[in-house]
Amino acid sequence: SLAVLVGAVAVLKFSRGGMKLARSLEGTNLIWQVSILSTVAVILGLALTGFAGERLLSDQASIEFARRSVKPNFVRRIDLATARAQHAAGVQFVDARVSQDFERAHIEGAINVFADVSPGARSAATAHLNKALPVVVYCASSACPLADALAADLYYDGFQNVVVFANGMVDWNGGQP
């Protein structure tokens, strides 16, 4: 940062060793001077950041994305019998497919939230769902990654009990998409 650079210049100019270094650099190439000052600034910046306990990933969204990337398929998966039982019990169902596929066919009572939408659009689409109640997310089949992606996003959005109906519409429709 600028403050660290100014501090490094002050240390170089006014310390006993710094005066000698400043005098020895007089008349030399400006690039050489900037290189030395930049190196000192980086070293001081790293030292100060390390002592302050700051992390390189301080943005919570970046940390959550990294966690999600490291642990794929961490959301529990359910089979057809469990999905049918939960549907009969009135559990919330979310279809992760594109809207055209949803309009062609979907599980009765499900809402459509395409997995690849912005967090704001996802929040608006799921606003009427209860985060404390179970949510079943499904896609076309087990080969479709959209249900896993959306389930992870919903989990990180605060939904407490999210599961993926593994074989989705193919199983629901008796082997037909």
pLDDT at residue 91 greater than cutoff 90: yes
For 111-131, the pLDDT digits (tens) are 999 888 888 899 999 999 999
For 127-171, the pLDDT digits (tens) are 999 999 999 999 999 888 899 989 989 998 999 899 999 899 999
Could you tell me the two tokens for 15? 């310390």
d(CA 80, CA 106): 15
This prediction has a pTM of 0.59
CATH 3.40.250.10 location in the chain: 62-172
pLDDT at residue 7 greater than cutoff 50: yes
According to CATH, the topology of domain 62-172 is: Oxidized Rhodanese; domain 1 (3.40.250)
Is residue 40 very low, low, confident or very high in pLDDT (cuts 50, 70, 90)?
confident
pLDDT at residue 109 greater than cutoff 90: yes
